Amino acid sequence: MAIKTKIASPNLNNVVGGLKALINKIPIATKQSSRIIAEKVFADSQTKSPCVPVDTNALRESGRVEPVKEGYAVVYGGPGVDYAAYVHDDLRPRKYKRPGSGPKFVETHMLRAASEATPQIAAVLDELAGNILKVYR
């Protein structure tokens, strides 16, 4: 007659619970990080060179941060401002009314933010994992 033995770790349920909590919270944390980064990029596109050109102020006023499937995005344009992409991508030499204005006023700041984003998001995820581990220990 075979004897059945069950060996279990007393902390196994805690570990599994912690992993499930972490898996559920990662998308929330990354989306929040995406919003913070998009808001910084938007603010920089309004105030730091190259900033959004201003002739009538319509383009500048059309700027906003919007939720998208992947997180958040900086958006310019909309009804009555269908030229936002054209102005953003126009690399021809031009003298803008607003000092510091220029093309690629979103892309430039997004590229800068992207180089800083990985360590920022990693720090958020490390903090999240640390907090979850404290709960499930």
pLDDT at 66 over 70: yes
Over residues 25-46, mean pLDDT: 88
Cα–Cα distance measured from residue 110 to residue 19, given in angstroms and rounded to the nearest whole number: 32
Over residues 44-63, mean pLDDT: 95
**Burial per residue of 114-136, b for 16 or more beta-carbon CB atoms within 10 angstroms, e otherwise:** eeebeeebeebbeebbeebeeeb
137 compared with 30, residue with greater pLDDT: 30
| Cα torsion angle, 42, 72, 68, 91, sign | positive
Other CB atoms within 10 Å distance of the CB of residue 7: 4
Percent of the chain with pLDDT over 90: 48
Going by C-beta distance under 8 Å and a sequence separation of 6 or more, which residues neighbour residue 125?
26, 29, 30
Average pLDDT, whole number, for the chain?
85
